[in-house]
Structures are given as structure tokens and as C-alpha cells.
């Protein structure tokens, strides 16, 4: 008899513990869902991208040139595709040096300030 009462108490205690854990998990899930849009917009506000097309002096796209974006401690690079386009993403807004290299020779250099979602076309002379 004694073990039966102990088993009943143990089962009841397990149910209470399970209920508390389920309730805690539910509350945490609700908080995560409620805060997700806020956290996502905050993360997006701190990153930007640079995209554009590099053109040769004759107006045609510059294919296979390297576009570099530099700032203290950060250097990002991208090679233009068959249409002369480049995309450098996940960059913090701020002041950068953007340069274009062909065959390891710098052929374009400019200082730019990047607000959010900037498109920056380059025409080579």
C-alpha cells in the first residue's frame, strides 16, 4: 500500500512538472514569435548592399573585373559577370573606398558613403 501511494504522488508530481515545462515552453515560444519582427528589422537596418554595373569607356559592360569595397578592417571583393554587374552584400552602412581592378591594376577608385540599399554604377574612362 505504501508504494502505491508513493507511486500516485510521483505520477502527480511528474504531471505537474510536465505542465510547468509545457507552459514555460509555450511562453518562450510566444515571446520569440512576438520579438522576431523587431529583431529582424533591427538586423536589416544595420546592413546594406552595393550593386551596379561596371561599364567600359565604349559603354559596353566590363566583364570579369574585380570590384573591391574597403573600410578599416574590412575588404570585400566581387568579380563582375558576363553582363558587367556586381553585388556586394551584408555590408554595414558607412564610408568606404570602392575600387575596380583589371589584371591586378587599379583602374578606378572613389570614396563613397553607403546608406541602406545603395546602387552604385561605375563608368570607366
The answer to whether residues 14 and 53 belong to one domain is no
How far is residue 101's CA from residue 112's CA, in Å, rounded to a whole number?
Answer: 17
pLDDT tens sequence across 51-110: 888 888 888 999 999 999 999 888 888 999 999 988 888 888 888 998 998 888 888 888
Question: Do residues 53 and 37 both lie within one domain?
Answer: no
Question: Whole-angstrom Cα distance, residue 113 to residue 96?
Answer: 6
8 & 68 share domain: no
Please indicate, yes or no, whether residues 112 and 66 belong to a single structural domain of this protein.
yes
Q: Is the pTM of this model over 0.75?
A: no
Alpha helices for the chain (secondary structure H): 2-45
CATH number for the domain including 108?
2.60.40.10
Q: What's 61's DSSP letter? A: B
The 10s digit of each residue's pLDDT in 27-43 is 655 556 665 555 554 44
Domain that residue 39 falls in: 1-45
Residues 39 and 51 in one domain: no
Amino acid at each position: 500500500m505504501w508504494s502505491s501511494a508513493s507511486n500516485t504522488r510521483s505520477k502527480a508530481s511528474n504531471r505537474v512538472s510536465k505542465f510547468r515545462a509545457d507552459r514555460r515552453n509555450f511562453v518562450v515560444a510566444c515571446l520569440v514569435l512576438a520579438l522576431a519582427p523587431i529583431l529582424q528589422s533591427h538586423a536589416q537596418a544595420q546592413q546594406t548592399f552595393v550593386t551596379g554595373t561596371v561599364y567600359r569607356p565604349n559603354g559596353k559592360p566590363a566583364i570579369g573585373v574585380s570590384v573591391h569595397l574597403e573600410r578599416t578592417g574590412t575588404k570585400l571583393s566581387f568579380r563582375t559577370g558576363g553582363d558587367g554587374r556586381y553585388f556586394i552584400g551584408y555590408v554595414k552602412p558607412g564610408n568606404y573606398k570602392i575600387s575596380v581592378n583589371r589584371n591586378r591594376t587599379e583602374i578606378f577608385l572613389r570614396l563613397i558613403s553607403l546608406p541602406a540599399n545603395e546602387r552604385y554604377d561605375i563608368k570607366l574612362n
